[in-house]
A and B are shown apart, each in its own frame.
Chain A
Amino acid sequence: EPEVTQTPSHQVTQMGQEVILRCVPISNHLYFYWYRQILGQKVEFLVSFYNNEISEKSEIFDDQFSVERPDGSNFTLKIRSTKLEDSAMYFCASIPKGRPYEQYFGPGTRLTVT
């Protein structure tokens, strides 16, 4: 069964550095998402991406964040200048055509900002 993949599984970075988290959604899926989960807290929506542009974004998704789908397969989340509070699990998700209720989540990238 196809899966959403994410790399790296764990990223450690220093405060102020830029990070790029990578996701390969399932082929032929239409909507793409990033969520984050700070340790011990709820899963939070960050941004949705459809037809090569941002569809919706949350208040968390400020100017420090950006998303791209550069080559039709990869889907990236960039944090320009990381802060300690960006430490979290970041999950990528995608939706298959015709089944918008069924989001497929990746295994996540654990980001640790020191």
Chain B
Amino acid sequence: DAKTTQPPSMDCAEGRAANLPCNHSTISGNEYVYWYRQIHSQGPQYIIHGLKNNETNEMASLIITEDRKSSTLILPHATLRDTAVYYCIVTSAAGSYQLTFGKGTKLSVIP
């Protein structure tokens, strides 16, 4: 699996957009970008995933660069409940789909 690089921490003002970057320069053609988050010791929660195109769901948007070497997760209107560790994971859509978590980005949403 390709490795990812994320900043260890970020702050965001409540109500503003949170933009979380991820570098995955060694991603291969059949690997997807997944984003999960973990709110204080709870089980990780799926947010969104993508291959090449930008994606949006009710939780977030995922912007993937054309060369696929980096991506950005966007929480459009961050709330205090979005304070969590956000994990960018790159893995192929094959095998047993296990996830390899890194250290992620600790997002703190500030009132």
Do A108 and B102 touch across chains, with their CB atoms under 8 A apart? no
Chain A's closest residue to B98 (CB) is A45
Chain B interface residues (CB < 8 Å from chain A)? 32, 34, 36, 38, 41-46, 49, 87, 93, 95-103
Q: How many residues of A contact B (CB 8 A)?
A: 25
Residue A75 interfacial (CB < 8 Å)? no
Q: Is the CB of B97 within 8 A of A48?
A: yes
Q: Is the interface of B mostly helix, strand, loop or mixed?
A: loop
- CB-CB nearest in chain B for A42: B101
A4 and B96: CB pair below 8 A? no
Query: What is the distance, in angstroms, from A50's C-beta to the closest C-beta of chain B?
Result: 7
Asked whether A93 lies within 8 Å of B43 as measured between CB atoms, the reply is yes
Which residues of A sit under 8 angstroms from B49, Cβ to Cβ?
Answer: 101-102
Query: At the interface, yes or no: A7 with Cβ under 8 Å from chain B?
Result: no
Q: What is the predominant secondary structure among interface residues of chain A facing chain B?
A: strand
- Most A-side CB within 10 Å, residue of B34, B43, B46, B102: B43
Whether A48 contacts B96 by the Cβ 8 Å rule is: yes
List residues of chain A with CB within 8 A of the CB of B95: 55-56
A105 x B93 contact (CB < 8 A):
no
Taking a contact as CB atoms closer than 8 A, the residue among A50, A55, A56, A101 that contacts B32 in the complex is A101
Contact across chains for B38 and A43 when beta carbons are under 8 A apart: yes
Does A100 make an interface contact (CB < 8 A)? yes
Q: Check if A104 is an interface residue, CB within 8 A of chain B.
A: yes
For the complex, what is the distance from the CA of A102 to the CA of B36, rounded to whole Å?
Answer: 9
The 6 closest A-B pairs by CB, nearest first: A105-B43, A48-B96, A43-B101, A55-B96, A101-B49, A56-B96
Q: How far is the CB of A8 from chain B (nearest CB, A)?
A: 15
Q: How far is the CA of A2 from the CA of B97 in the complex (A)?
A: 21
Q: Which of B45, B87, B96, B101 contacts A50 (CB 8 A)?
A: B96
The answer to whether B99 and A103 have CB atoms under 8 Å apart is yes
In the complex, chain A residues whose CB is within 8 Å of the CB of B102: 42
> Please, which residue of chain B has its CB at the minimum distance from the CB of A49?
B96
In the complex with contacts A43-B38, A101-B32, A4-B43 CB distance below 8 A: yes
